[in-house]
């Protein structure tokens, strides 16, 4: 059984390596398909040349990536509400780009997690279907709202996203801390049958950590809800996926973080295509944002050991609250209440 899982892990590693190497080809395909909504959002509409437009969003995305790593959150949960609240770019383009950025970052991070055995292969196969299906459903719903409800639909999306972002900020303040090695007193019968227990090598302990998970039936429901939110709002899912795996299913924190990254890479790769086929991935916007967030993540990881993350965490909470309030204000204006 272990040799079989090892082969599965190597196959997934090779699969992710191929996806990363083909990212340029995907961008070319996206360039060819993105012509309807994205055509309305040219750099000239913002009074910028293409080079200035590229550099501006590259710098902004690097900043977002640095701050997100220092605060321990994914870049998508900051990127999407900030861009929707304070730029004139079409909301559907921003949400599609948010998914694209989350997908690219997850694919880059997935390979080392799989090679080291931190990501639970059994858990990935268990959770990938509900998360991916609901993320695609959310993306299709986003496109449907744009096509059928127009300004009113956009207003309700901004109102919902603004409220959600404020709620996430409050969870960051009041929610309990994560548990590095949760203690499980009882594994339910359903989880025992699906067999999600595994092990990994913990370098800090110098030993193999054997672990189990529980409440997998509840995890299925929550994965579906998180996927729907991710596909609809383009937020990514790390802000919710890690707590579900760590606090609900009681997986070790490192396993939860690693499995979350791989799941995002799987689910968002599927969810991005409704946005692509609608023509809402604008390469001149998506590429600098993707590069910037990845570069910012690398820089943030290097300076994390020198900076106290507490202040940065409250900075993130402040940014999210301001962005959420801005989105609520925009939605009420669009609905005619302000």
CA 4 vs CA 10, 104, 120, 223, 311: distances in Å: 10, 28, 14, 26, 46
If you count them, how many residues does the chain have? 338
Per the CB < 8 A criterion, the answer to whether 220 and 210 are in contact is no
**Predicted local confidence at residue 262, as pLDDT:** 86
Coil, strand or helix at 87: coil
**29 has pLDDT over 50:** no
Residues 318 and 144: their CA atoms lie apart, in Å, by 32
User: For residues 158 and 137, what is the distance between their CA atoms, to the nearest angstrom?
Assistant: 19
Mean pLDDT of the chain: 80
β-bridge mates for residue 199, sequence order: 210
Distance separating alpha carbons of residues 322 and 291, to the nearest angstrom: 25
Q: Read off the pLDDT of residues 97-153 as tens digits, 9 standing for 90 and up.
A: 988 888 877 777 777 777 778 888 888 888 989 999 999 999 999 999 989 998 899
Contact 289, 101 (CB under 8 A): yes
pTM of the model: 0.81
* Residue tagged 């309990």 (tokens): 176
Kindly indicate the confidence band of residue 2, based on its pLDDT and cuts at 50, 70 and 90: very low
Question: Between 30 and 74, where is the model more confident?
Answer: 74
40, 148 Cβ separation under 8 angstroms: no
Collapsing DSSP to helix, strand or coil, 85 comes out as: helix
30 with 276: CB under 8 angstroms?
yes
% of the chain residues with pLDDT over 90: 20
Q: Where are the domains of the chain?
A: 2-334
φ and ψ at 252, to 5 degrees?
-55, 150
Q: How does strand 198-202 pair with strand 207-211? A: antiparallel
> For the segment 253-309, what is each residue's pLDDT rounded down to a tens digit?
888 888 888 888 888 888 999 998 888 888 888 889 989 988 888 887 677 556 665
Q: What is the rounded distance in angstroms from the CA atom of residue 285 to the CA atom of residue 48?
A: 13
Please give the DSSP secondary-structure letter assigned to residue 182: -
């Amino acid at each position: 059984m272990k040799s079989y899982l090892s082969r599965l892990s190597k196959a997934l590693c090779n699969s992710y390596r191929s996806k990363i190497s083909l990212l340029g080809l995907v961008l070319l395909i996206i360039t060819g398909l993105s012509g309807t909504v994205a055509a309305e959002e040219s750099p000239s509409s913002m009074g910028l040349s293409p080079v200035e437009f590229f550099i501006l969003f590259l710098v902004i995305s690097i900043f977002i990536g640095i701050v997100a790593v220092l605060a321990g959150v994914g870049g998508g949960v900051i990127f999407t509400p900030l861009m929707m609240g304070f730029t004139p770019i079409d909301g559907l383009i921003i949400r599609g780009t948010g998914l694209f950025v989350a997908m690219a970052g997850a694919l880059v991070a997935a390979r080392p997690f799989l090679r080291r055995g931190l990501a639970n292969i059994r858990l990935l196969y268990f959770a990938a279907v509900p998360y991916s299906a609901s993320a695609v459903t959310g993306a299709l719903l986003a496109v449907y709202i744009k096509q059928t409800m127009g300004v009113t639909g956009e207003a309700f999306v901004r109102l919902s996203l603004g409220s959600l972002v404020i709620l996430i900020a409050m969870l960051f303040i009041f929610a309990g801390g994560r548990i590095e090695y949760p203690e499980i007193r009882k594994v339910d019968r359903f989880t025992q049958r699906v067999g999600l227990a595994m092990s990994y090598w913990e370098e800090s302990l110098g030993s193999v950590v054997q672990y189990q998970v529980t409440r997998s039936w509840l995890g299925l429901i929550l994965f579906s809800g998180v996927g729907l939110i991710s596909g609809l709002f383009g937020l990514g899912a790390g802000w919710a996926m890690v707590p579900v795996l760590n606090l609900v299913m009681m997986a070790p924190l490192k396993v939860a973080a690693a499995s979350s990254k791989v799941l995002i890479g799987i689910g968002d790769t599927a969810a991005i295509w409704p946005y692509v086929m609608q023509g809402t991935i604008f390469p001149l916007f998506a590429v600098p944002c993707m590069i910037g967030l990845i570069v910012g993540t690398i820089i943030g990881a290097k300076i994390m050991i020198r900076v106290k993350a507490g202040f940065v965490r409250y900075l993130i909470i402040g940014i999210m609250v301001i962005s959420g309030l801005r989105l609520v204000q925009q939605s009420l204006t669009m609905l005619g209440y302000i």
